[in-house]
């Protein structure tokens, strides 16, 4: 019984000592019982990890520099490829055309666009010749010729600069911008306008043939205007075919990009 009383008194004194001196004095900082105590082995490991991480970060800098230099070289080479130097026709280069630099879908697109441009050019030139053979009473050759000359020059330049050249530059970087479709639709609408062919607008087409049949029925005029109408229809078909190929190429690129994102 006396032993239990002595034990209770000692525990009471021990608790009073904790209250008076505080926990930090009883278990000094850095002792094993300290909550923030870190052993020597753990401290070495922590310092070692920090040093290793710093070595890894510093060691990656040369690789990153090499990677950035390679990307810069790729950009410069891509700019050199997209700088178009005319190479066709050989006697007076106007159009850049190297299908061997392009993959199959882009090769087809550039080839179709080039054919449409050539057909449009021949159609506009032959239209100026056909106007000279139109035999209609109220037909003014000089007025129609000037109208046709101005419109032909404008549409040929538009087709070259905003359709064919844009197709070629975009194909070299494996892209098909939506603006190509806008430009091609504008060329197709012009071909429809020329195919209808009111002679007062400067183009000899379907309605010009009907006027010749109704008024004079001249065989030479009919042959000339009919050939011109056929060439206009050929230009219309080739330029519309370019729209179809451009649309399919855009869809295939979109599917490929979607598969890469999913994969």
Region label for 77, one of left (φ > 0), alpha (ψ between -120 and 50) or beta (otherwise) = alpha
Token pair belonging to 225:
């205007």
Q: Is residue 42 part of a domain?
A: no
Q: Which domain holds residue 132?
A: 104-262
Give me the pLDDT at residue 23, please: 46
Give me the pLDDT at residue 226, please: 94
What interhelical angle do 219-262 and 179-196 show, nearest 10?
160
How many domains, the chain? 1
Give me the pLDDT at residue 122, please: 96
Phi and psi dihedrals of 84, rounded to 5?
-85, 120
Q: Residue ranges of the chain with pLDDT lower than 70? A: 1-61, 78-83, 258, 260-261, 263
Q: Is residue 91 part of a domain?
A: no
- Each residue of 8-38: pLDDT tens digit? 555 555 555 545 554 444 445 444 444 444 4
Give me the pLDDT at residue 50, please: 47
Q: Is residue 221 part of a domain?
A: yes
Q: Is residue 38 part of a domain?
A: no
Give me the pLDDT at residue 82, please: 62
Radius of gyration for the chain, computed over Cα atoms and rounded to the nearest angstrom: 41
Q: Is residue 21 part of a domain?
A: no
pTM above 0.85, yes or no: no
Q: Is residue 208 part of a domain?
A: yes
Q: Is residue 20 part of a domain?
A: no
Give me the pLDDT at residue 70, please: 83
Give me the pLDDT at residue 88, please: 80
- Alpha-carbon dihedral 141, 144, 147, 151, rounded to 10 degrees: -110
Give me the pLDDT at residue 242, please: 96
Contact of 101 with 81, CB cutoff 8 Å: yes
Q: Is residue 253 part of a domain?
A: yes
């Amino acid at each position: 019984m006396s032993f239990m009383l002595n034990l209770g008194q000692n525990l009471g004194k021990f608790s009073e000592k904790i209250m008076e001196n505080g926990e930090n004095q009883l278990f000094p900082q850095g002792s094993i019982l300290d909550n923030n105590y870190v052993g020597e082995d753990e401290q070495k490991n922590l310092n070692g990890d920090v040093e290793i991480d710093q070595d890894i970060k510093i060691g990656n800098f040369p690789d990153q520099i090499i990677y950035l230099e390679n990307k810069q070289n790729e950009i410069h080479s891509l700019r050199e490829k997209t700088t178009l130097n005319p190479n066709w026709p050989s006697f007076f280069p106007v159009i850049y055309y190297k299908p061997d630099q392009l993959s199959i879908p882009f090769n087809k697109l550039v080839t179709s666009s080039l054919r449409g441009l050539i057909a449009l050019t021949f159609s506009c030139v032959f239209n100026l010749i056909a106007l000279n053979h139109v035999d209609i009473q109220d037909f003014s050759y000089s007025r129609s010729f000037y109208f046709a000359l101005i419109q032909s020059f404008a549409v040929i330049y538009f087709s070259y600069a905003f359709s064919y050249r844009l197709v070629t530059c975009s194909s070299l970087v494996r892209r098909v911008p939506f603006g190509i479709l806008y430009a091609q639709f504008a060329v197709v609408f012009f071909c429809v306008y020329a195919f209808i062919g009111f002679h007062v607008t400067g183009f000899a087409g379907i309605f010009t043939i009907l006027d010749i049949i109704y008024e004079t029925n001249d065989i030479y005029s009919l042959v000339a205007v009919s050939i011109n109408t056929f060439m206009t229809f050929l230009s219309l078909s080739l330029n519309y075919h370019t729209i179809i190929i451009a649309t399919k190429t855009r869809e295939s690129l979109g599917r490929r990009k979607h598969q890469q994102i999913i994969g």
